[in-house]
Amino acid sequence: MQTDIGHVSDAHPEAAPLKTRSMRSKVPEDTSKRRTARWFPFWRTKAPKHLDGSYPGDAGFDPAGFAEDPERLQLLRESEVLSSRWAMLGVLGLLATDLLGGPVYLLPELTTQQLLPYSLAALLAVGAFETVRGAKRASQPDVNSRIYPGKSFDPLGLAKPRRQGKEAAPGLGVWSAWLGGLPGWLSGGWWLEQQDRTVKEVEELKTKELKNGRLAMLSFAGVYLAASLTGKGPVTLLVEHLSDPVHHTVVQTLQQ
């Protein structure tokens, strides 16, 4: 027999306690054990519980809760790594194009009739790449094996953990006399040191890759916006600003 709410008498020990709606009040979450999020220089807050710092580059930034679902978290991790790599290549391409005197931003030069086929061609190209990546995701469910060590994005194999034994670097041995050691185009002590990384060092490389990739994504957006407003590349705008810092700023650019 149940004598009181939440208590069961000895006569009926199998009886379940009666729980009312008033007793189901949510217990406040203990945030003292959660780590401090450090995604903003002068603001410290508690990181979300689903971001425990176990992933590379995890700064505890998820104010909208997009990564609360574990499957979505893995998808976002993969997307961020791949976007970071493409952004770093894209920014490098923009800088090289501007240094060589080529057009950085082509869309303003396209007429309205040319813009539609250009956009459709870009959409089809990206769609083809994403179709291949989607098929790979279905056949290879482990996100870490899909994005690391990087394959084409890591031609030197710098993100591979410690190997057993020493191997000669690939190549024809052009720099062997300078670096010393085994023959190869990047041989010698430097190459073997890069190939002799511990697991901890590899994880640090993954974090550095994401940090640089995030900066590259922001930089690419900034270059895109500046080029659309001025028709000039980042190097050209930097040289103009350094030559006349007072009259070549963001304010003057927006006023034009």
What is the full DSSP assignment across 165-191?
S--PPSS--TTHHHH-SSSSTT-HHHH
Instruction: Give 111's DSSP letter.
Output: -
Q: Which pLDDT value is given to residue 212?
A: 94
How deeply is 47 buried, as exposed, middle or buried, from its count of CB atoms within 10 A (0-12, 13-18, 19+)?
buried
Instruction: Find out whether 158 and 150 touch, Cβ atoms under 8 Å.
Output: no
Cis amide bond preceding 149, omega within 30: yes
User: Does residue 58 form part of some domain?
Assistant: yes
Q: What is the pTM of this model?
A: 0.66
CA distance 77 to 80: 5
Digitized pLDDT (tens) for each residue of the chain, 256 residues in all: 444 444 444 544 444 444 444 444 444 455 555 667 666 666 667 778 888 888 888 888 888 888 888 888 888 998 899 899 999 999 998 898 888 876 655 555 555 566 678 778 888 998 998 888 888 777 777 888 888 866 667 766 666 655 544 554 444 445 555 555 445 445 444 555 555 667 788 888 889 999 999 999 999 999 888 877 787 888 888 898 899 888 888 787 777 6
Q: Which pLDDT value is given to residue 24?
A: 45
User: Does residue 162 form part of some domain?
Assistant: no
CA distance 211 to 96: 22
Range of the domain at 52: 34-65
Binding positions for chlorophyll b: 85
User: Does residue 225 form part of some domain?
Assistant: no
Binding positions for chlorophyll a: 80, 208-209, 212, 214, 241
What tokens does 172 get?
């024809």
What tokens does 242 get?
């350094």
CA distance 25 to 17: 16
User: Does residue 13 form part of some domain?
Assistant: no
Binding positions: 80, 85, 208-209, 212, 214, 241
* Domains identified in the chain, total number: 1
User: Does residue 46 form part of some domain?
Assistant: yes
Q: Which pLDDT value is given to residue 217?
A: 95
User: Does residue 145 form part of some domain?
Assistant: no
User: Does residue 61 form part of some domain?
Assistant: yes
User: Does residue 47 form part of some domain?
Assistant: yes
